[in-house]
Structure 1
Amino acid sequence: MSEACFNSLLSKIHPYLKKQDTTFRLAVTPRERLVVCLRYFHLFVDKISLYLATGDTQKTIAFSYRLGVSTAHQIVHETCRVITEKLIDDAMPKPTEDMWKKIANDFYTKWNFPLCLGALDGKHVTIQAPANSGSLYYNYKKTFSIVLLALVDSHGNFTAVDVGSFGKNSDGGIFAKSRLGVFLEHNKLSVPADTYLPGTNQLAPYVIVGDEAFPLKTYLLRPYPGQDLDESKRVYNYRLSRARRTSENCFGMLTSWCRMYHRTIHANPKNVDRMILASCILHNYKRRFHGITPNYRATSMDEPSVLNNLPAQGGNACKNAFSTRETFKNYFNSTIGAVPWQ
């Protein structure tokens, strides 16, 4: 993060980080509070970072800045709360139909996948086993984790995130119960109406792409399963994978600067949820500030919503979902939709 980006970030949240001085001690300034929080995320690079790069803790931060351990702990979590509450409308506001069309156009231009609204994937964030949690957070990797489910655009920005699911749950199960899944199932995300595939008179819906862990839906494409596939299905799987890897790229960029993800996080799960969401917001904020990505409008699915009580969708693919996948498969294998290197 550059100094200019840091100052811009500080100007937006300065009033909410300011504390009152007392008779016996001076309060930690908003600037210092933000530095301590970003140090925990490992956003700065200097001579101290050689030590922090091995995996910093809040106790180490306290020693580095001559703060009490409980003070450093409180600063990190309070600053993350301010970032998520005050910057979410700036970094992740609610999507619009125009936003979806811009994202789809960029996916077609950059990754040769038409009518794509984003790549969907989940990331397990390793945590210390919470007290009396049993196997709720125990995942297939034999670690304890909280899941970050994210929808990512073609440039590696988070478009929508859902944080806080138990590690034992599968990506598909988390998606089915998430607000993102419910919003899509009930068509509450301003997704554009079906349109023609480029250069054809074939109508198709706007879709998101995911791996085998997700269900097949009219709005969610997954690969054809199995090994012995014909050439047309292998071409489809390749084109899908080419678009879907943007989510893997995004997680890679997030973990490259946010060293928090390189270690087991020792914190209450609710605090971990807030730190994960804050890191996603900062990821979008700094990339947009430096002009790396367009100023897309996005949304967090952790916000309260009138759709909270809507039922989750089922996991079985319907006939229309198979038909949608066949439509895209045929397009990728046609003269108009094919690319030379497939």
Structure 2
Amino acid sequence: MASDDDLEDFTFLCAGTLALLEDDRKKRRRKRRWWQREFLRKRATHGAYAMLVQELTLEDGAYFRNYVRMSMEDFRGLLSLVAPLVSKTNTNFREAIPPEDQLAVTLRFLATGDSFSTLMYLHRISKSAICNIILRVCEAIVQVLSKEVKLPATAEEWLKIAKEYEEKWNFPRCLGAIDGRHIDIVAPPNSGTVYFNYKERFSIVLLAIADANYRIIYADVGTQGRISDGGVLKDTTFYKMLETKTLNIPPSTPLPGRSKPVPYVFVVDEAFGLEENIVKPFPGLHEKNSWQRIFNYRACRARRVIENVFGIISAVYRVLRKQMLLSPEKATVVALACVYLHNFL
């Protein structure tokens, strides 16, 4: 059995060995050759905003719109809102990246889903800086555009939506269309199958409610992809307000020429459960001209609005079509920024 002196000697030996290893590691550490790469220093004169975006602003509004997915007026208006939240102070080591450059690189990322390396060579901003910029600008967009996505607060506002659904989509008493969309992400570390969905991909879920004019009135992003759309809905604040009758939904009233009261409803697909204020098509096949088949046609026509909304958003902001190489938390912020920008435009 080892004595106390032997244990003490062994402890000193281990400590000395660790110290030598740490000194050797510091000596072998490669010194940085540059504080900043030479081509990155030319951002102010040769970057995308200095050379391309400003040139498109002067020459062709259509190409500018295609580059950042909005008009010059909208870009300037959004910049005036976001700039106070993302502006940085110059230091003795380097100049801060201006807000217009930060907004331009973020909008280009949302529009294309390009890698940070691609954006680095185009905008002459380092990959690490781009990663921080995109997250910071997306959070600022969600903050300054917070009023763009909101549920109606009064019965009159709900009635306006129902009237538009009846006039445009031939479905009376409809307050909105609900559906979910999977946004692919890279598998998070040590997450197992938590984010693994039925499509055999890793994803988070964007659940949204749209009015008759393709505007999103409610959005919930970030739930694990393994959960069904119905399960995602039941875990939202919207569903809790629906259950507790705090949405100020108008009371049931009869349809024209009828006497039985009919509730105001939200239309969904087969993935959701049937509720008093949530309706879905009748399952199975039905005879031609039967009232079930007519109802399914009208309900699917109204529900198609939210499908169109997802198509519009993903066509404009193609980052939603690609696998995001981001953590679920950062991917949630990016997806929310796309939703708010959709309504803003």
Task: Specify the TM-score bucket, using the shorter chain as the normaliser.
Answer: 0.7 to 0.9
1:112 aligned partner: 170
Are 1:7 and 2:76 counterparts? yes
Q: Is the counterpart of residue 279 in structure 1 residue 338 in structure 2?
A: yes
* 1:203 corresponds to: 261
Alignment-derived partner of residue 335 in structure 1: none
Q: Matched residues in 2 for 1:195 and 1:278: separation?
A: 38
- Overall identity of the aligned pairs, in %: 39
The 1:229/1:187 distance shift into structure 2, 3 A limit, reads: farther
Question: Superposed, which structure 2 residues align to 1:168-317 within 5 Å?
Answer: 168-228=226-286, 231-286=290-345
Give the distance between the partners of 2:168 and 2:80, measured in 1 at CA: 34
Seen in structure 2, the aligned counterparts of structure 1 residues 198 and 277 have a Cα distance that, compared at 3 Å, is farther
CA contact (8 A) 1:41 1:259 kept: yes
Aligned to 2:149: 92
3-state secondary structure, aligned to 1:239: helix
Deviations 1:256-302, CA, capped at 9 Å, x for gaps: 0101012110001101111111100000001xxxxxxxxxxxxxxxx
Cα deviation, 1:188-238, whole Å, max 9, x if unaligned, reads 222222223245443221110000011111100011112245711111111
Counterpart Cα distance in 1 of 2:287 and 2:274: 18
Matched, 1:133 2:224: no
Counterparts of 1:27 and 1:197, CA distance in 2: 62
Which of residues 205, 219, 240 is equivalent to 1:161? 219
1:298-337 matches, cutoff 5 A: none
Please say if 1:33 is aligned against 2:91.
Answer: no
Q: Structure 2 CA distance, aligned partners of 1:200 and 1:12? A: 51
AA in 2 matched with 1:128: V
Kindly indicate whether residue 210 of structure 2 is the aligned counterpart of residue 152 of structure 1.
Answer: yes
Residues 209, 220 of structure 1: 8 Å contact kept = yes
The one-letter amino acid of 1:41's match is L
- Give distance in 2, aligned partners of 1:59 and 1:180: 39
Q: Which runs of 5+ in 1 are unaligned?
A: 43-52, 287-342
Aligned residue pairs: how many?
274
What is the distance in 2 between the residues matched to 1:184 and 1:174?
Answer: 14
* Kept in 2: contact 1:162–1:180 (CA 8 A): no
TM-score in terms of structure 2 length = 0.77
Report SS of the residue matched to 2:178: strand
Aligned-residue Cα RMSD (Å) equals 1.4
Bigger Rg, which one: 2
1:24 equivalent in alignment to 2:86: no
Runs of 4+ in structure 1 displaced over 4 angstroms?
Answer: none
